[in-house]
Amino acid sequence: MKQHAWLSSTARGVGHTYPGAGRHGQSFIHRNGLAGKEVEMPEDLIASSRKTDLLDQTGEWKWAGIRKYLKLVKRFEEFLLLLAHITGGQPSRGEEITGLRLINGINRDRNIFIIDGKVVLVTQYHKSLAHFDSPKVIPRFLPGRIGQLFVMYMIYIRPLTDRWEVDKWELYGGKMAPPSDFIWHNEAAGGVPWESWIRSGITAGLQVDEVRQYEYMVEEGSTSVLEEDVGP
């Protein structure tokens, strides 16, 4: 397995004071030369035992195999949601965590940053609106390993699955919806965030041993990017 990209402690903060921080469609991935790394995912998949499940003899994608793989990705995303919920400080309300954005939207900034080498999910507590005319902003610092999972997901897994969605719509001639800004989204419903009730189903079905079955997803997303400075 190649060496994982570790987050450095040199990142100093977050906000529009950093050039490009508010650009639509961007995140700290784009600001640190990590965009485009998803090409390593299919390379690793093709080199693995899963090649025959994902590619036919002509080198075209086998959509039956991809759909099966996407189900594993969906389960992995469920674990990320659960880990963010229980390790990022006091548990948040369902809609506060499921509505987080990976990248800057047209009218809303992203909710995931790097601060002092830590992955931070920034949630908003909207019940404070009635008293202060603005939501309460809550930074949720994730443990190192959990933060690393989020970074690996953003660099390798999510761009690849977004690319597959585009290819699928082009193949079947359907009306293509743009990739969703949200971390946890329902592609069939136009990329809207998951409903908060989904999380209750995640916790009910959680098996500790099952987490180990998804370790290979991060291993296949390992990178040639070595230890380097990662900013906000």
- Residues 28 and 150: beta-carbon distance below 8 Å: no
Q: What would the two tokens of residue 113 be?
A: 């940053």
Domain assignment present for residue 182? The answer is no
Q: Which two tokens stand for residue 189?
A: 């419903």
- Determine if the pTM surpasses 0.75: no
Domain presence at residue 148: yes
Domain for residue 189, yes or no?
no
Spatial separation of the C-alpha atoms in residues 41 and 74, rounded to whole Å = 16
Nearest-angstrom CA–CA distance, 151 and 9: 15
114: Cβ–Cβ under 8 A, 6 or more apart, which residues? 7, 11, 14, 28, 120, 230, 231, 232
Q: Is residue 42 part of a domain?
A: yes
pLDDT string in tens for the chain (232-residue length): 443 444 443 333 333 334 345 677 778 877 777 777 878 888 888 888 888 998 998 988 898 999 999 999 988 998 888 888 888 877 666 567 788 888 777 777 888 888 888 899 988 765 555 555 666 788 889 999 999 999 999 888 988 888 888 787 777 666 666 678 888 877 765 667 677 655 556 655 555 555 455 444 444 444 333 334 455 5
Is residue 35 in some structural domain?
A: yes
- Per the CB < 8 A criterion, the answer to whether 222 and 3 are in contact is yes
What is the residue range of 107's domain? 28-161+194-220
130 within a domain of the structure (yes/no): yes
In total, how many domains does the chain have?
1
- Give domain status of residue 214, yes or no: yes
β-bridge pairing 192-193 and 185-186: antiparallel
Q: Is residue 37 part of a domain?
A: yes
